[in-house]
Amino acid sequence: MTKHLFAAFLLASAAPSLAQPAPTQVAQLRDDALKDNYAWDIVEGLTTEVGPRMAGTEAEARAREWAVKKLKAMGFANVRIEPFDMPVWTRGAEGAEVLTPFPQRMVITALGNSASTPPEGITGEIVGFNSMAEFEAAPADEVRGRIVFVSHAMPRTQDGSGYGFFGGPRRQGPTVASKKGAIAIVVRSIGTDYHRNPHAGVQTFADGVKPIPAGALSIPDAEQLQRILKRGQPVTMHLTLVSQVTQGKSGNVIAEVPGRDPKAPFILVGGHLDSWDQGTGAIDDGSGVAITTAAAKRIMDAGRPLRTIRIVWFGAEEVGLFGGIDYQKKHGTELHYAIAESDFGADRIWKVDSKLGKDREAEAKALQIALAPLGIVPGSLEKADGSDIEPLLNAGLPGVGLSQDGTHYFDIHHTPDDTLDKIDPEALRQNVAAWTAMLGVLSGGIEPEPKRAKRR
């Protein structure tokens, strides 16, 4: 492995036409970043001074103001908000209670775009399914007029790959339930923890499907409901899931580190500013904006990169990628040299993927080599991901993916438990070091400001 990587290193070093910075410069930037405090300062400030910041609400507007002030204070250029309109779904009173045969309250939260129950709630008999497949196979007769409960068996994975498949009950469940005539649906939270904190998350009813109330039970409550159902007696539940939809505003916050060559294609990095409403959005995605902004700041501190670095704190990601879509609409045709987003928590980065194109393989390999000392394994050269940048990646833009270890991510994801204490400052610094090294490799080289310039 070492031999192979060293050969790649030589190859990367022998490609001056790509204007790559000296590996020693990148190594120095990377290692200095292991003492970073910028990222902690950002995520601590944002989660403390703003707290929860649900897309389209006045809290998200306060978060944008906070971001502008912070990014300006850090010395970034062209700090601005790009606003856009959006429908805003917000939660009201909510609760679930088993009425028979064993009366008890359960902890529930409405899924995004859930229809609202009346304030006094609804009552129905529960029909339970142990998986999405079982539910989909059920005849409508079993479901009609009832409250559907769908469970699943989501496992922990390092790469978070369980989220797609096992997210079915949340994403498709409500539509399937409505089509089969259910009066409401409750799902086992899409998560891997055992706390009484339900996992929120967006779902969208398919076109023409009548919205019904849809909620997620905490995992201990979902297992309790399964145990109750197993007793074989009819189970009735009272369900209150009040919500409302209004028209509102969100926006992307953009800032830049100006490059020496303003015409050169620029690098886009970022995360999303909005959070779900019950936590303070520390790992989703305060840490993402913090890590990427700290890395850009460290490049700026070191001097001027050849390429401009653009930082985007996307708005309204959680409820439908509104910020990413708006950015694509406004900037999709600009020359992006590479795009990358951090939106998978703040645990250590363990893998680097990239999709820079065949002609930039040497650069991709140089990136792998620069990250390896941080314990990051080389992944695919034909892959990159990121929620808000997905539209751009799908359009073929070059991208990089720095994958955090997601083993514990879905313990916290979209719950009230997404708070600052869940971030390990040392892991956060490893993230900053990786992003700084990545920016260093792609920057085209950083030229220290002349000394006299600092005295002006």
The residue ranges that bind a copy of itself (CB under 8 A) are: 44, 47-52, 59, 101-105, 107, 194-197, 219-220, 223-224, 227-228, 231, 278-280, 415-417, 419-422
DSSP 8-class letter at 360? G
By C-beta, is 32 or 44 nearer to a copy of itself? 44
By C-beta, is 248 or 379 nearer to a copy of itself? 248
CB of 252 to a copy of itself, least distance (A): 23
Beta bridge partners of residue 206, listed in sequence order: none
CB of 416 to a copy of itself, least distance (A): 4
d(Cα 140, Cα 30) in Å, to the nearest integer?
58
Beta bridge partners of residue 109, listed in sequence order: 216
DSSP letter string over 179-234? HTT-SEEEEE-SSS--SS-----B--PPTTPPP--EEEE-HHHHHHHHHHHHT-S-
By C-beta, is 415 or 436 nearer to a copy of itself? 415
By C-beta, is 284 or 326 nearer to a copy of itself? 284
CB of 104 to a copy of itself, least distance (A): 3
CB of 172 to a copy of itself, least distance (A): 27
d(Cα 61, Cα 59) in Å, to the nearest integer?
5
CB of 23 to a copy of itself, least distance (A): 40
CB of 40 to a copy of itself, least distance (A): 12
By C-beta, is 230 or 455 nearer to a copy of itself? 230
Largest CA-CA distance found in the chain, in angstroms, rounded: 82
By C-beta, is 6 or 102 nearer to a copy of itself? 102
Q: Residue ranges of the alpha helices (H) in 248-337? A: 287-302, 322-331
86-to-52, 56, 196 alpha-carbon distances in Å: 19, 7, 31
CB of 198 to a copy of itself, least distance (A): 11
CB of 59 to a copy of itself, least distance (A): 8
CB of 63 to a copy of itself, least distance (A): 11
CB of 197 to a copy of itself, least distance (A): 6
DSSP 8-class letter at 285? I
Q: Which of 54, 47, 56 is nearest to 326 (CA)?
A: 56
Contact 233, 95 (CB under 8 A): no
d(Cα 332, Cα 339) in Å, to the nearest integer?
11
Report the b/e string of 287-305 with b at 16+ CB within 10 A: bbbbbbbbbbbbbbebebb
d(Cα 312, Cα 324) in Å, to the nearest integer?
10
By C-beta, is 23 or 220 nearer to a copy of itself? 220
CB of 15 to a copy of itself, least distance (A): 47
d(Cα 381, Cα 379) in Å, to the nearest integer?
7
Phi, psi of 451 (to 5 degrees): -60, -40
By C-beta, is 178 or 197 nearer to a copy of itself? 197
By C-beta, is 141 or 421 nearer to a copy of itself? 421
d(Cα 198, Cα 111) in Å, to the nearest integer?
10
By C-beta, is 334 or 426 nearer to a copy of itself? 426
User: Which tokens in the block code for residue 420?
Assistant: 């600052």
By C-beta, is 50 or 349 nearer to a copy of itself? 50
Instruction: Give 326: exposed, middle or buried? Use CB within 10 Å, 0-12, 13-18, 19+.
Output: buried
